[in-house]
Structure 1
């Protein structure tokens, strides 16, 4: 009777061994002793944060004369800069509203009249629209009937 059970036992053990070795092609594989699903869960995905624009900015593709800006927690100030004459002149001082969500955004700045009323090259517009796309801050400048979009990049 033992001789009759031996072939059946060998067949059963072989079938179990083969079944244990097979796995679906899409099954996650283990790395460093941890299943893939556990590794992904162990690293929480970082949520995108709103841009922090505070700091110094300069006009993109500028030559000897350009615009430079400083953004603080609640204000933006922009100056005309002439490297040739080593001079600066106020163009805009106004409010800044930091973004509350990640991605591109726009804000309308209200001019600080006290800081700009006596400046010769300042904008006299009561408000100015700014837009942020990627790593650039852009706005329009009109001087003597000519309008140009200025793009600032971080200094």
Structure 2
């Protein structure tokens, strides 16, 4: 009976990469539900706030340090299904809620965009249009 011994040399495994493999955290789909507050208001006691719940978004004009709220938008919300940004959807106005609100938008749709922790959209009042930027409240 013969004994055969085989020696393997030079069979090391190396990878050519950036050295970052496995260290990059997986991006998560953002959860946009909750309370949002305008960050780019020109006034401390007057701003817009939004509530996202289920498949709806409601936006209010807030004045008097929060003592007065007037409906600006009531519409549909479509949650993101990927972590890709920017994320946008066209919210459809619920006219049954906004038609009797004096400060509400009469637009049929409003494009909402989420990017880098900020929710933004255009708001118009008295002939002036501005981009409203909201941050999620904790």
Report TM bin, short chain: 0.7 to 0.9
- Map of 2:38 onto structure 1: 59
Task: Tell whether the 8 Å contact from 1:51 to 1:103 is kept in structure 2 after alignment.
Answer: no
Matched, 1:107 2:86: no
Alpha-carbon shift at residue 50 of structure 1 (Å): 1.2
Alpha-carbon shift at residue 46 of structure 1 (Å): 5.5
Specify which structure has the bigger relative contact order, considering alpha-carbon pairs within 8 angstroms and separated by 6 or more residues: 2
Matched, 1:135 2:114: no
The CA distance in 2 between the partners of 1:85 and 1:49, in whole Å, is: 33
* TM-score normalised by structure 2 residue count: 0.77
The CA distance in 1 between the partners of 2:65 and 2:125, in whole Å, is: 20
Task: Tell whether the 8 Å contact from 1:80 to 1:91 is kept in structure 2 after alignment.
Answer: yes
- Map of 1:145 onto structure 2: 127
**Rg larger in 1 or in 2?**
1
Please, which runs of 5 or more residues in structure 1 have no aligned partner? 1-23, 28-39
- Map of 1:19 onto structure 2: none
CA RMSD between the two structures: 2.5
The CA distance in 2 between the partners of 1:138 and 1:83, in whole Å, is: 23
Displacement over 3 Å in runs of 4+: 43-47
The CA distance in 2 between the partners of 1:78 and 1:93, in whole Å, is: 6
Q: How does 1:3-152 map to 2 (within 5 A)?
A: 47-62=26-41, 63-84=44-65, 86-104=67-85, 105-152=87-134
Please, which runs of 5 or more residues in structure 2 have no aligned partner? 1-11, 15-20
Alpha-carbon shift at residue 73 of structure 1 (Å): 2.0
The CA distance in 1 between the partners of 2:40 and 2:111, in whole Å, is: 21
